[in-house]
Structure 1
Amino acid sequence: MLRIPLLAGWRWLLGLLLLSLLPPLYADEGGVIHYPRRTDGDEFRSVYELALLQLALEKADSPLRLEPSYYSMEQERALVNLERNERLDVVWSVTSHEREQRLLPVRIPLDKGLYGWRIALLPSSREALLKNVRTLDDLRPFSAGQGHDWPDTDILRSNGLPVTISANYGSLFRMLQAQRFDYFPRSLIEIWGELEHPRSKQLVADTHVLLHYPAAMYFFFSRQRPELAETVRLGLERAIADGSFEHLFQQHFAADLQRAQLNQRQVIELENPLLPSATPLQRRELWLTPLSPAR
């Protein structure tokens, strides 16, 4: 039997008591969660995700506060920093087998699956480009633009669609205007905000086609920070249960979904070979099918 001298025993017990009274460890000593900063002018792309993350923290009764990284980061750099547990505590991204192996996902789709519903951005001079597209074969003669490290790039290619890539998000809009590729598929919850940006003044949203593949955007955390992931998971589950998740989602995207006039479009279904088997497709409350039942 382990014997602890009397004085040492009291110190040991006192140490346990003090540890029990300390607050839980947070992302750093200041209780801050660092997320990847957007480049100047692109902050609108993070408004919903940050609002949802803040909601999750509030529902989990967490005192953590959110701060952007010092420098802006493209997606892959942010994922690498998160994987190394350096300078970042959370990243939100479309999931894939590879990302779930590297990082710790909270498997609640922030987008309710809408990142897999895509409308094409087109040059305004070519707004009728996809008018006669009815099938996947009809779409294959046209080239899509995508980020070099986006899962969507591999998804489109795996379905036989040609893709032109860029390492920089902003450059894709300039490349589309220069007709370096034919169309730029954007999610239902991205496209309208992007069209309001000055760089899209010569672009329009296609009115004919709706691409769909199963996809989910998650909050990802370092595998060294399971307690942070659990805090956010708990907060999201509580927000789902009390309706505040749905309220926030509708507040941000209800008008966009109506604007898209989805039932007037030709739907083209794609397969997603990157979708992990652990994706909670059976939890119907986590997903939104944006088309009416008649579709």
Structure 2
Amino acid sequence: MIYRFIVFNVLLISHLVMGKSSEPTVFSYQGSQFEADRSHNYTIDVLKLALDKTKAEYGDYKLELKGHGLNVARVVKLVETGYYKNFFFKHSITTEISKKVHTIHFPIDRGIIGYRIALIHPSNLNKFCNLTEESAVNNISIVQGIGWTDSDILQANNYRVYPLTNPDHDKVFGLIKKGRVDAYFRGVTEEKDEYFVAAQKKFGLVYEPCISFAYELPRFFITHINNHVNAKRVELGLKRAYKDGSFIKLWEKHHLHNLIANKLVDRKILWLENPLIQGLSQEYKKYNFSVQEYFDK
């Protein structure tokens, strides 16, 4: 009897060890759409953190860059079709998209990207400060990229949106400089990155200082709808990192400086509805940041 017990446990351990491949699992992720954009570095760091937290159960991993330079709408289609194997993409989720892909309901940016500030031409500095949620709709025009969730949200709130298929900075900033549109709204923590440097040096644009748009904009990792095992690993890693504080440290490292520097707490917040997430579980909100969290820092 004891002999059988020992043999059974040896076989079980052997099965578990052999079940975990000695080869690293390859995870692919999307690169930036254009060279000046470095915001994807944070996304890569988050994915690495989640995978590091789950090595004990799932083994080692390897990251591969895919889809560099592709616009958002194209990348989402690639996720839906499973064009890239084990491909993960951070996307502003909608109820419709969540039906077509496997969605990890954890807000990678903690909701901060839903606060948007505007790049404008200096000649328009006096145009924004007195705007209200009602008057802004009829008084400003906005350039955005096709396939961006922001574009759909702005249009749903009756804003005039100028859509671009490939919104590289020369096209976006050129439209603002020529006065064809008033503004380009970006995430509040993207304030002083390489994208802004290009806008300032080459086109003379500035950030509008008085207002911020705000709307619910949960950004989740999405992958192919049948990629269950690897999605479970990423979700487990994210929740572990949140629980032990390492996710918050990473978030603060990438976002806190700009969050404080742009004085979000002093801006007039113009709230917009996001009709694209109706029916979406609200569970993700417990991971979101609040302005009061960092008010005294």
TM-score by length of 2: 0.84
Deviation digits for residues 96-125 of structure 1 (CA, Å, limit 9, x no counterpart):
112111111111001111121111111233
- TM superposition shift of 1:50: 0.5
User: Partner of 1:155 in structure 2?
Assistant: 153
Q: Which deviates more from structure 2 when the two are superposed, residues 166-175 or residues 191-200?
A: 191-200
User: Partner of 1:136 in structure 2?
Assistant: 134
Report how many residues are paired: 277
Contact 2:140 2:160 in 1 (8 A): yes
User: Partner of 1:190 in structure 2?
Assistant: 190
| Matches of 2:229 and 2:205, distance apart in 1 | 44
- TM superposition shift of 1:177: 2.4
Segments of 5+ residues of structure 2 without an aligned counterpart are: 1-11
User: RMSD of the TM alignment (CA)?
Assistant: 2.6
Contact 2:142 2:162 in 1 (8 A): yes
User: Partner of 1:248 in structure 2?
Assistant: 250
User: Partner of 2:225 in structure 1?
Assistant: 223
CA distance 1:216–1:203, shift in 2 (3 Å) = same
- TM superposition shift of 1:176: 2.2
User: Partner of 2:73 in structure 1?
Assistant: 76
CA distance 1:291–1:127, shift in 2 (3 Å) = farther
- TM superposition shift of 1:22: 3.6
**Correspondence for 2:260 among 233, 258, 279:** 258
User: Partner of 1:7 in structure 2?
Assistant: none
Contact 2:36 2:194 in 1 (8 A): no
User: Partner of 1:166 in structure 2?
Assistant: 164
Contact 2:50 2:241 in 1 (8 A): yes
- TM superposition shift of 1:224: 1.8
CA distance 1:110–1:71, shift in 2 (3 Å) = closer
| Matches of 2:290 and 2:209, distance apart in 1 | 19
Bigger helix share = 2
* Pair 1:205 & 2:204 matched: no
Segments of 5+ residues of structure 1 without an aligned counterpart are: 1-15
- TM superposition shift of 1:193: 1.5
Letter in structure 1 aligned against 2:124: R
Q: Which deviates more from structure 2 when the two are superposed, residues 191-200 or residues 125-134?
A: 191-200
Contact 1:107 1:280 in 2 (8 A): no
